[in-house]
């Protein structure tokens, strides 16, 4: 093997390693800008109805791709709806969080019960 061929081989190997590193790991969930929407809400003080609209768009985009909605997203959307005065729709999304994530069931059930009791 000549020096020139060796250099080409090393260069090709480095290029392949570099390209493989650019791919990055696939995340478990499609967050779809969820973190940015929350940061904007809490940092800039956007209104709950604006947050609800952003989260609704994110949820719809994730569901259209038939991905699983990440943990907490339905609950955050439900709370934004509740905070905006849309209690009945909030209850629907608290229930969706409970059903999608069984580990959240005790907490989501207690939230649903409290809101249902308060709105009766």
The answer to whether residue 105 is domain-embedded is yes
How much is the pTM? 0.76
User: Residue 30: is its pLDDT beyond 90?
Assistant: no
In a domain, 77, yes or no: yes
10 occurs within a structural domain: no
Both structure tokens of 27: 């995340």
Q: What average pLDDT does the segment 104-114 reach?
A: 97
Residue 24 falls inside a structural domain: no
Of the listed ranges 9-13, 17-21, 44-48, the one predicted with least confidence: 17-21
Based on the structure, what is the number of domains in the chain? 1
**Phi, psi for residue 29 in degrees, rounded to 5:** -125, 155
Residue 71, in any domain of the structure: yes
- Determine, yes or no, domain membership for 25: no
15 falls in which pLDDT band (50, 70, 90)?
low
Are the C-beta atoms of residues 73 and 55 closer than 8 Å to each other? yes
Q: State the residue range of the domain holding 37.
A: 31-119
For the stretch 31-66, pLDDT in tens is 899 989 989 888 988 888 899 999 999 999 999 999
The whole-number pLDDT of residue 76 equals: 96
35: in domain? yes
Task: Indicate whether 1 belongs to any domain.
Answer: no
pLDDT at 2 over 80: no
Number of other residues whose CB lies within 10 A of the CB of residue 70: 21
Q: Which residue has the higher pLDDT, 119 or 104?
A: 104
């Amino acid at each position: 093997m000549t020096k020139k061929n060796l250099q080409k081989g090393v260069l090709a190997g480095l290029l392949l390693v570099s390209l493989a590193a650019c791919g990055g790991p696939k995340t478990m969930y499609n967050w779809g800008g969820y973190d940015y929407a929350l940061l904007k809400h809490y940092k800039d003080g956007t209104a709950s109805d604006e947050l609800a609209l952003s989260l609704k768009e994110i949820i719809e985009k994730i569901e259209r791709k038939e991905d699983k909605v990440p943990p907490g997203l339905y609950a955050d959307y439900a709370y934004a709806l509740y905070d905006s005065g849309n209690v009945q729709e909030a209850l629907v999304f608290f229930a969706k969080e409970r059903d999608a994530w069984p580990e959240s069931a005790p907490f989501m059930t207690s939230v649903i019960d409290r809101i249902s009791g308060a709105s009766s």
